[in-house]
A and B are shown apart, each in its own frame.
Chain A
Amino acid sequence: MANKIAAIGKRDAILPYKAIGVEIYITEEKNEFKTIIEKLVKEEYAIVLVTEEIAEKYADIIKEYNEYMIPSIIPVPGTEGSTGYGARRLREAVKKAVGADIYAE
């Protein structure tokens, strides 16, 4: 099956993605974010890129789709550069599974 990529975030941070063929959704508002994510899940998007600030703010919404095979929702750095949330999120998942913090270098 052929599925699509989408990006969600602030206008400045995700506009360039549009040129390379990623669908973009500009939002910073919680309810809007939720409806967009629901729509993307329903339409079987494969990858959803979310800027880090927003991903961190609405982590509870994203968490609901953790056990779905698709979409893979991943945080990407926004206009302010990397906040380290992406790495932190992975680290949490690993810590939960292994019971020890082995993600750190």
Chain B
Amino acid sequence: MILKVNATRMELLQMKKKLIIAKKGHKLLKDKEDELMRQLLEMIKSIRELRKEVENEISSVVGRYQFAKASMNKETEDEIFLIPTKKINISVREKNLMSVRVPEFTKEVEGKIRSYGYAFTSGELDASLLALDKIMEKVVSLAEKEKTIQLLADEIEKTRRRVNALEYIMIPNIEDTIKYISQRLAEMERSNTTRLMKVKDIVRAH
């Protein structure tokens, strides 16, 4: 598609400048996309394993907890969780990955699980809670990685759209326009020459 411009030498120069900038931008964005993609692929490998591990372990903990629950009455269950003595805080740091802001989580733990008496609870309960506590480390890292992947994926999509817009619309349009203007200018020059020749002939005939 030819852009709406006047076919003048001025416009031609401007178009040529624009083309150079568009090409430079295209190259930069393309590089960015490639690098983001590389990061994403790297993360996918590790997260697939991690996700599976976490899922399996949590499923088994929840299952064991159901067993533990079966052997106590509801009041005891409520009591156990009434006042948790343990606290998990996550300190969040921001990391810059190719100008995408991604979080980095570190786990900080305060206190121990012991918030209930051992007399009315089963060993199964202790075991399942301990196991869950152990998994938390992985859960935190899973949360960090999943967020990163999500943010990267969004950014890649955005970047790719920009690259495509430049590659398939902006740059071809400018190139077409440049061609159009230079042809128009050449045509104008030819018509000028013939007119001059014609005028000369008329002048000579007198």
Contacts and interface: CB of A to CB of B under 8 A. Distances in A.
Given A19-B113, A21-B109, A98-B156, A46 B103 contact: yes
B170 interface: no
Assign chain B's interface to a size class: 35 or more
A20 B136 contact: yes
A3 B92 contact: yes
Contacts, number: 147
B171 interface: no
Contact of B81 (A15, A79, A82): A15
B143 interface: yes
Contact of B87 (A15, A21, A82, A96): A21
A87 interface: yes
B61 interface: yes
B37 interface: yes
A76 interface: yes
B35 interface: no
Interface string B119-150: 00000000011001100100110111011011
Given A2-B89, A98-B156, A66 B150 contact: yes
Interface of B: 37, 40-41, 44, 47-48, 51-52, 54-56, 58-59, 61-63, 65-66, 69, 77, 80-81, 84, 86-92, 94, 101-103, 105, 108-111, 113, 115, 128-129, 132-133, 136, 139-140, 142-144, 146-147, 149-154, 156-157, 160
6 contacts: A5-B140, A19-B86, A19-B129, A67-B151, A86-B51, A99-B160
